[in-house]
Amino acid sequence: MRKLNIIEYPNIDKGRIRLKSFCTYNYSYVPSDDLLLKLKNKKYFIKTHGCQANIRDEETLSGLLNSLNMERVETKEEADIAIINTCAVRENAEDKVLGEIGEFKNLKAKKKDLILCICGCMVGQPHIVNKLTDTYEHVDIIFGTHNIQDFVRLLDIYIKNPGTRLVDVSSKSGDIYEDMPSLRVNKFKAFVNISYGCDKFCTYCIVPYTRGKERSRDIKDILKECSELVKQGYQEITLLGQNVDSYGKDLNSNVDFAYLLEEVAKLGIPRLRFLTSYPSDFKDNVIDVMAKYPNIMKYLHLPVQSGSDSILKKMGRRYTKEQYLDLVKKIKEKIPEIAISTDIIVGFPNETYEEFLETVDLVKQVGYASAFTFIYSPRKGTPAARLKDDVSYETKVKRFKELVEVLEVDVNKYANSLIDKVIPVLVEGPSKKDPNILTGVSEANKIIHFVGDKSLIGKIVNVKITKNHVYSLVGEMINE
Ligand code: SAH
Ligand code: SF4
Ligand code: F3S
């Protein structure tokens, strides 16, 4: 067995603790000359799983490695440093990652100097770190979501003691690091963190343990980042937080999410979005700001998780079906063209068919433009994972399929409503299937395919919708 240097080991109980305050630091680590010399012009590979929070972390990791004069590559075979940025939200996501880490074994046998790093939410869990250190000996560095700012320091330690594996995963409630270097994945769409972590502790969810306390960035830091993106010609900004609606609650000021949203909208970014909204924290003043600014997309991701009051209560979600429906009604009254999407979990422990049908009923009443549906996956250390469950997996799969069929009716209806309409589309790139076709996204995040020149990539163009393929649409570009 190779030697193991444990700087800090994850601890789920510590991850649950919420300290009152947090600190904001400016990133300032200076790499050693040895590290700079060793990594200069070397290559790195990053594979990211999970949500936008992980994508944003990937951009920071890329920025850090670029500052060491390294170059990004798209295949692991070319890499001198490989990073797998993991997600822990459901078991199937974790299984995929473990498979991927396993695949590195052969490569590492051939390329002994390759430094394999595992980071992200999965390694915030002690049982996963145990598994990696016990049975995946080819993994070199394990670091957590609270240790991104330590990455270069860890590389410095690693090259001084080559062969000694490193584990540095803090489970502290979390601080904020500003001024980290960053290399954006996309040249015209950007994610901007407005807050980190989550304090909601929905009973099924691992995120509050792996990402720590909810902490809001100072508004001036957010506005500075957004202004720079506008100056650089970015077309779209998505403001990110596990619960954007509670933005500012932890700051000693009267800044709230609606205020922040309006200030960002005023910077003149062509498209502004935000993710994710928590129904009972969503305030009316956000609806007013959305309605007032044409550059705020008339699209809202409003996860409901379940339509049953008893299940919502067991999930620790702090609203009822009626309150959710009232909120949707209020939003639709003020913004009739709004497209709403959601997340739903099917098969929470002991969910009855009647409770499931409450979700089906809610879905029919809302009429979602799109939806993400998941089968409940027990997450070790969360309260729901301790519940005994008398519903079989087969029953859950059956209900899942039933729900998807119901959802598809409205998704299809929404897509049909776009036929013959001319809508603005942000062109993302050539279509994966046909390089002569362009792919873009509508205001409501619908995928649109149309014939057009590659020079349009990164621009917003008008497209007349001609065909509906339910999850994507086809159109023709309209020249003005
Ligand atoms: N903060 C966001 C996103 C959290 S994770 C929110 O509150 O909506 C994204 C989605 O994954 C959640 O909305 C939920 O639907 C799903 N999810 C989270 N934990 C899960 C679990 N244990 N099993 C199945 N789905 C889960
Ligand atoms: Fe998880 Fe709930 Fe927080 Fe979303 S709000 S990240 S589902 S605990
Ligand atoms: Fe996954 Fe962590 Fe995001 S668990 S969904 S990567 S916050």
Where does residue 201 rank: exposed (0-12), middle (13-18), buried (19+ CB within 10 A)? middle
Residues 227 and 204: their CA atoms lie apart, in Å, by 37
Q: How many residues does the chain have?
A: 480
Mean pLDDT across the stretch 36-58? 97
Residues 319 and 340: their CA atoms lie apart, in Å, by 18
Query: What count of other Cβ atoms lies within 10 Å of the Cβ of residue 1?
Result: 7
Give the tens place of pLDDT for each residue, 56-76: 999 999 999 999 999 999 999
Give the tens place of pLDDT for each residue, 443-478: 999 999 999 999 999 999 999 999 999 889 999 999
Residue 316 zone, left/alpha/beta (φ > 0; ψ -120 to 50; rest): left
Mean pLDDT across the stretch 315-334? 98
Which residues approach ligand 1 with their CB closer than 6 A?
A: 89-90, 204-205, 207, 242-243, 276, 303, 305, 343, 345, 374, 376-377, 379
Which residues approach ligand 2 with their CB closer than 6 A?
A: 198, 200-202, 205, 207-208, 242-243, 278
Give the tens place of pLDDT for each residue, 249-280: 999 889 999 999 999 999 999 999 999 999 99
Spell out the domains of the chain, with CATH numbers in brackets: 4-168 (3.40.50.2300), 177-417 (3.80.30.20), 422-477 (2.40.50.140)
Q: For residue 342, report the distance from its CA to the centre of ligand 2, in Å.
A: 13
Instruction: State which ligand 3 atom lies nearest to the alpha carbon of 88.
Output: 4
Are 407 and 415 within 8 A, CB to CB?
no
Pocket test for ligand 1, best of 89, 145, 301 (most atoms within 8 A of CB): 89
pLDDT at 379 over 70: yes
Q: What is the pTM of this model?
A: 0.97
Residues 154 and 161: their CA atoms lie apart, in Å, by 11
Q: For residue 89, report the distance from its CA to the centre of ligand 3, in Å.
A: 6
- In single-letter form, the type of residue at position 329 comes to K
pLDDT at 162 over 90: no
Residues 422 and 404: their CA atoms lie apart, in Å, by 28
Pocket test for ligand 3, best of 54, 90, 97, 128 (most atoms within 8 A of CB): 54
Going from the C-alpha of 52 to that of each of 153, 178, 196, 206, the distances in angstroms are 25, 18, 12, 16
| The predicted structure's pLDDT at residue 20 | 85
Residues 77 and 161: their CA atoms lie apart, in Å, by 24
Q: Which element (helix H / strand E) includes 475? A: strand 472-477
